[in-house]
Amino acid sequence: MTDVEVKSSILTLVSFWILGLCNNFGYVVMLSSAHDILKSNSATSGSNETASLNSTLEYKRECNHLSTGVILLADIIPGLLIKTFSPFFALYINRRLSLCISLTIASFITVARANTELVAAIGVALTSMASGLGESTLLSYMINYERSVITSWSSGTGAAGILGALTYAGLTGIFHLSPSTTMYLMLSVPFLMAVSFWVLLEHPKKDQISTAPSDCPDFSTNSPSLSNKISYIPSLLKFMIPLGLVYFFEYLINQGLFELVYFENIWLTHAEQYRWYQVIYQLGVFISRTSVNIFPIEKIWILTILQGLNVVYFLIETLYSFTPNIYIIFAMIGFEGLLGGGAYANSYHNVMKKVPKERQEFSMAMTSLSDSIGITLSGLLAIPLHNRICYIPK
């Protein structure tokens, strides 16, 4: 490769890393703040005494009245709807990215100015829509580049987990900034995303038409019809089902059981333990999403089985508290993150490796739907599961 080609390749990898980081950053911040959002809402709802009475008389352990799965659902369902329909529309990349960035800006401002739970929920929903649209669009756009960009993108999304969790904890805990100020500072994220895509990233010349905004859908022979796309979905289930199940198990643990796994009378409070669980989990995700080129995995179902066993472990832990110290829990959470991140990166790597070139754009976008379905189903189950366990003595 010439020096120019090497420079272009490096810029492409860096651009997709930044795009992955920015696309998932707001989503992670919302989930990282889930415990505090619920606690804050219950404290300002005007029913402090009633909530305290319910916690004392009804719940047998320290619990939020609502599982953090509530925040998860608000943070995923709008994105799920976007991912459901976006694969069936033409990939007008500039328009889609402009909309994605606009939604991200609107989400941070809405949450920063929110004075009711409804307004805050609208802000969270906007974040979900932006993340869902960005992921579906950019995964489809990756077919114009080498497979190595998947590792770069996946690593960026994994880094978003670590940096998002640490940024929220640092700005609110160490620097004592208010949630509103923190959200305004987040406006730098969509700006960075715009610079990465329109300034740093070198777009392939063969894609001049599809990167230009257009009001006319592409009905050329290279663009499969709606019926052809739908008929191809069954052949993608071998990628979608294992990935969806991994995420179902993963987020059932994170949003239904994490909050119930805590140690009393140690150096961390319950809320601090929850935050560290999120950070360690995101670290595991980052490591595995970054290492897909080093440790490629084709049999994703193995990761599915292991993640299912993790659910069993954490469920038993919430019921019987048999783990002797928190460091074992930290290790198990890191392992959980490794499995989830590995399933994500390797699934898309396998799609680009095994699916015919002309089908890859649709296949990448469609496969991205599976993790959202898994997360949504886990959120629906996490709420009753969490509340049921709360009534069981610790």
User: Do the domains 1-39+66-204 and 229-393 sit in the same CATH topology, yes or no?
Assistant: yes
CB atoms within 10 A of CB 234: 9
**Domain ranges in the chain?**
1-39+66-204, 229-393
Helix/strand/coil for 323: coil
Q: For the chain, what percentages of helix, strand and coil (3-state, to nearest 5) are there?
A: 80, 0, 20
Write down how long the chain is.
394
Q: Which fold has domain 229-393?
A: Growth Hormone; Chain: A; (1.20.1250)
Helix/strand/coil for 219: coil
Q: Per mean pLDDT, which of 193-207, 210-224, 234-248, 286-300 is the most reliable? A: 234-248
| CB within 8 Å of 37: residues ≥ 6 apart | 71, 120
Alpha-carbon gap, residue 331 to 366, rounded angstroms: 33
pTM of the model: 0.82
What does the pLDDT average to over 294-311?
94
> Given this model, what pLDDT does residue 125 score?
86
DSSP string, 356-394: -HHHHHHHHHHHHHHHHHHHHHHHHHHHHHHHHHHTS--
Locate 5 and state its tokens: 């080609």
Q: Which fold has domain 1-39+66-204?
A: Growth Hormone; Chain: A; (1.20.1250)
CB atoms within 10 A of CB 381: 17
Q: How far is CA 335 from CA 114, 293, 330, 372, 373, in A?
A: 36, 19, 9, 21, 22
Give 324-336 pLDDT, tens digit per residue: 999 999 999 999 9
| CB within 8 Å of 219: residues ≥ 6 apart | none
Alpha-carbon gap, residue 302 to 58, rounded angstroms: 40
Helix/strand/coil for 289: helix
What does the pLDDT average to over 6-15?
85
Compare 45 and 244 and report the one with higher pLDDT: 244
